């Protein structure tokens, strides 16, 4: 089917309102969860063919987080989709004022090849939860995963609302000529610019999950053994083809040899003396990327690894030293198992080095010194900052995941996915009464009216605080009333007296105020 017809069919289905009820969205999310559970082996086999990843590695890095995201969305959807009350001013204190999340419409999701299931279906979770239709375009580079997705996903999800479209560059270009209500792209910044350019023709908003060169600064006084163990894991998982992998190390010359020694030791522990034969060490996605990564080593000294086999797209975990700012490996995101080390005089030079380059997806810093860590946070900018570990911030659904500047725009995960793919609609419902209060805004405008307007409009009101104060006052009044009745020592039913009558009147007024605040 032509891409324009696929998009038209999705839009027509969306316009029927089928995605609006939360029950429908939850049903689709549960169906997606069932797909992952039923087809776990098919997914693992496809990823093995694409990236050489083991079955357990696929579950750990592809489907486990996806399952968690779906379960969270099912559990929290009613809360996320509910109206969100906001603070009022005195002019709107008796009005309903809230934010109502609503679906955007038809979303295009363009996935990436390095984690072909996680980075394609996690945005889909947000799109479904927010009540959108979604066209799913998996990367053609991870061809086996794309084929499985195309063949099996429609057996579980609504075929009209969530179609899978496969193909290469021409097919993607044709899709980008269509009008969407949001485009969610994961990949490199070069293609990201083309996606944004295509989206601009329709004024379509975009989420761009890109990458960049994420630096990793090692403080000379930290526990270098533990730091290097965590860096080794974060760098070489998925054969270095991770957008948030540490791209290069910054450290002082005095600890460079120790860093090399520790990483070498960890590579052997994690992947044996021969990573080529080890099940949990993957492969470069294809020969084009193999040649690109191998060319990046030019002009640098191999300190660890360096072995390769083009026929298998295998490159060993490799550490490079004698790397300069002008080295070829520092000119682009590596996206492979090469880890260059650049020496700096200390944290001052490290911060300067980071700030002279494009804003990365993440900054890593390893140090015992909390002040040093906070300084790096304060004096650099990146999509995220992670201290004393690698990658694990990706697993925290409450943290927004995304870049800044050249590393991307927009964010997702958990509630952030829902918000990103929703329109947060401002709503105010006023009653057709109390017109006297509104007269200050009508002509003629006078100094007196301006004074009242300044008071009513600039005074923010925390309704929840007022409600708590009213309830507290009510209970205080009730306590005083009980004490008064006890002191009067007369039957409650017969003679309350004037003071009792006043107290009851005050209580009734307070209850009325509480009722008004509750309804607002």
CB 213 within 8 Å of CB 360: yes
CA atoms within 13 A on the CB side of 437: 15
Contact 346, 356 (CB under 8 A): no
Q: What count of other Cβ atoms lies within 10 Å of the Cβ of residue 378?
A: 8
Distances (CA, A) of 479 to 483, 486, 495, 504, 510: 6, 11, 18, 12, 14
Contact, 211 vs 335, CB < 8 A? yes
Give CA–CA dist 376/122, Å, rounded. 30
CB-CB contact of 163 with 150 (8 Å): no
Rounded to whole angstroms, how far apart are CA atoms 451 and 269?
Answer: 74
Contact indicator for 280, 383 with CB cutoff of 8 Å: no
Strands (E), 344-459: 362-366, 384-387, 408-409, 422-429
The verdict on whether 262 is a catalytic residue reads no
52: left (phi over 0), alpha (psi -120 to 50) or beta: left
Provide the b/e sequence for 225-263 (b: ≥16 CB within 10 Å): eebbbbbbebbbbbbbbbbbbbbbbbbbeebbeebbebb
Residues 129, 312: Cα–Cα separation, whole Å: 41
Contact by Cβ (8 Å): 358, 406: yes
Annotation says 243 is catalytic:
yes
Q: Which residue has the tokens 């944004």?
A: 196
The residue from 216, 228, 239, 243 that is catalytic is 243
Under 8 Å between Cβ of 401 and 362: no
Report residue 196: phi and psi, to 5°: -65, -35
What is the Cα–Cα distance from 360 to 377, expressed in whole angstroms?
13
Catalytic residues: 209, 243
């Amino acid at each position: 089917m032509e891409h324009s017809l696929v998009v038209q069919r999705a839009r027509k289905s969306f316009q029927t309102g089928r995605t609006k009820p939360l029950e429908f969205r939850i049903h689709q999310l549960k169906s997606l969860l069932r797909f992952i559970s039923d087809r776990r082996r098919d997914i693992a086999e496809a990823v093995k063919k694409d990236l050489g990843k083991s079955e357990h590695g696929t579950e750990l890095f592809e489907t486990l987080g996806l399952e968690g995201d779906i379960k969270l969305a099912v559990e929290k959807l009613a809360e996320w989709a509910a109206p969100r009350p906001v603070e009022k001013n005195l002019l709107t204190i008796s009005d309903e004022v809230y934010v109502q999340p609503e679906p955007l419409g038809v979303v295009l999701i363009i996935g990436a090849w390095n984690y072909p299931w996680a980075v394609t279906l996690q945005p889909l979770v947000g799109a479904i939860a927010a009540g959108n239709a979604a066209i799913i375009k998996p990367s053609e580079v991870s061809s086996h995963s794309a084929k499985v997705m195309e063949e099996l996903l429609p057996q579980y999800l609504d075929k009209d609302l969530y179609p899978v479209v496969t193909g290469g560059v021409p097919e993607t270009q044709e899709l980008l000529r269509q009008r969407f209500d949001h485009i969610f792209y994961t990949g490199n910044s070069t293609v990201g610019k083309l996606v944004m350019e295509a989206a601009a023709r329709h004024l379509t908003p975009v989420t761009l999950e890109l990458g960049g060169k994420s630096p990793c600064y090692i403080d000379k006084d930290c526990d270098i053994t533990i730091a290097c163990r965590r860096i080794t894991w974060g760098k070489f998982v998925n054969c270095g083809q991770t957008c948030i992998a540490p791209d290069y190390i910054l450290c002082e010359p005095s600890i460079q040899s120790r860093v090399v020694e520790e990483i070498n030791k960890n590579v052997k522990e994690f992947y044996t003396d021969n990573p080529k034969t080890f099940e949990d060490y993957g492969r470069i996605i294809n020969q084009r990327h193999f040649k690109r990564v191998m060319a990046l080593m030019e002009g640098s000294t191999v300190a660890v690894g360096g072995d390769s086999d083009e026929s298998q797209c295998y490159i060993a975990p490799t550490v490079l030293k004698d790397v300069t700012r002008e080295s070829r490996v520092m000119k682009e995101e590596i996206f492979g198992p090469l880890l260059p080390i650049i020496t700096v005089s200390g944290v001052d030079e490290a911060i300067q080095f980071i700030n002279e380059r494009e804003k990365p997806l993440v900054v890593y810093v390893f140090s015992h010194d909390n002040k040093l860590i906070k300084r790096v946070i304060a004096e650099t900018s990146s999509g995220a900052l992670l201290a004393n570990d690698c990658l694990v911030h990706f697993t925290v659904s409450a943290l927004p995941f995304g870049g800044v500047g050249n590393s991307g725009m927009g964010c997702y995960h958990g509630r952030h996915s829902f918000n990103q793919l929703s329109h947060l609609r401002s709503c105010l419902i006023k009653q057709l009464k109390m017109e006297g209060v509104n007269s200050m805004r009508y002509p003629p405008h006078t100094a007196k009216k301006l004074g009242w307007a300044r008071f009513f409009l600039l005074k923010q009101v925390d309704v929840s605080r007022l409600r708590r104060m009213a309830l507290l006052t009510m209970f205080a009044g009730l306590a005083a009333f009980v004490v008064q009745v006890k002191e009067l020592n007369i039957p409650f039913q017969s003679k309350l007296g004037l003071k009792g009558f006043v107290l009851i009147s005050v209580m009734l007024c307070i209850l009325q105020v509480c009722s008004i605040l509750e309804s607002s």
